[in-house]
Amino acid sequence: MYMRILRFDELDSTNAYAKRNCSLLADQTVIRARRQTAGRGRLDRKWISQEGGLYFSLLLKPQLTDFLPNLTQLMALCVCRTLRQLGAEACLKWPNDVLVQRQKICGILSEAIFTKNNFEGLVLGVGLNLTQTDLASVGQPATSLALLGIQPDEETLLQDILKQFFDNYTVVLQNGFKVIQADYVRLFPYIGQTVHIQNGTQDVTAAVQTISPEGKLVLKTPEGFIEISIGDMMV
Residues within the interface to ligand BTN (CB under 6 A) = 13-15, 36, 39-42, 45, 47, 55-57, 97, 107-109, 125-127
Tell how far CA 171 is from the center of its chain. Answer: 18
In the complex, minimum distance from the CB of residue 27 to ligand BTN, in angstroms, rounded to a whole number: 18
Q: Which residues are paired to 97 by β-bridges?
A: 93
User: Residue 120 CB, nearest distance to ligand BTN (Å)?
Assistant: 18
Q: Closer to ligand BTN at the Cβ: 43 or 191?
A: 43
In terms of CB distance, is 55 or 184 closer to ligand BTN? 55
Sheet holding 233-234, edge to edge: 224-228, 217-221, 203-211, 194-198, 233-234
- Residue number with CB closer to ligand BTN (12 or 182): 12
Quote the least distance from Cβ 31 to ligand BTN, whole Å: 9
CA pair distance 99, 93, nearest whole angstrom: 7
Q: Which is nearer to ligand BTN, 46 or 186 (CB)?
A: 46
CB of 90 within 8 A of CB of 99? yes
Q: Would you call 42 helix, strand, or coil by DSSP?
A: helix
Please report the sign of the dihedral spanned by the C-alpha atoms of residue 179, residue 180, residue 181, residue 183.
positive
Smallest distance from the beta carbon of 11 to ligand BTN, in angstroms? 8
